[in-house]
Amino acid sequence: MTSTTDSDDPSLLWGKKKRQATRSSETVAIPLSTDADYTYDYLLNRIPRVTSLSESKIIIPTPILSRVGRRTRINNFGEIARSINRLPGHMTAYVRIELGCPASLGDDFNHLTLRGTFKQEHIEKIIKTYIHKFVICKTCKKYTTTMKKEIRLEFVVCESCSSKHSVEKL
């Protein structure tokens, strides 16, 4: 465990319904005349369009764990990787490093088998740290990012703001 994250991150939802407010794309025209009298109803109706903020939230499926002897299996690992737009192999390498145990990805890339017994809270914490390091855009804090590899460096490229920052190699 190399870093700790806020366990009450409101932008990460574990299997809950998505709530998303959208920013209005229309612009509000304000007349430049000095003698304009605005009614209270006009100003009240204008408030949501001016102050609406877009919330970027992501729904991550809750890890479904099963134990087979001294092994722990994450049954929906592929679904978790698809929900954050990452390759299961990259997430497997991170989980393997963080837990310090051997891990094997299933043939269909849908489950991950770990040697050892782990609690669900521990697995969720590791997935959250992965998201904070390799998924969230550092500029706009959105989850619409992709991983690109250029020469020897890996970059997280944001599709919303087009920013790019390098991440550590696994």
In three-state secondary structure terms, 162 is coil
User: Is this structure's pTM higher than 0.75?
Assistant: no
Residues 68-102 have pLDDT tens digits of: 899 999 999 999 999 998 999 999 999 999 999 99
Residues 118-170 have pLDDT tens digits of: 999 999 999 999 999 999 888 888 888 999 988 889 999 988 878 898 898 88
What mean pLDDT is predicted for residues 24-33?
53
CA-only gyration radius of the chain, Å: 21
Amino acid identity, residue 144? Answer: T
Would you say residue 16 has pLDDT above 70? Answer: no
CATH number of 59-137: 3.30.30.170
**135 vs 22 pLDDT, higher one:** 135
CA dist., res. 73 & res. 57, Å (int): 27
Question: How do the domains of the chain map onto residue ranges?
Answer: 59-137
Amino acid identity, residue 124? Answer: E
Instruction: Please identify which residue in the block is written with the tokens 């100003």.
Output: 43
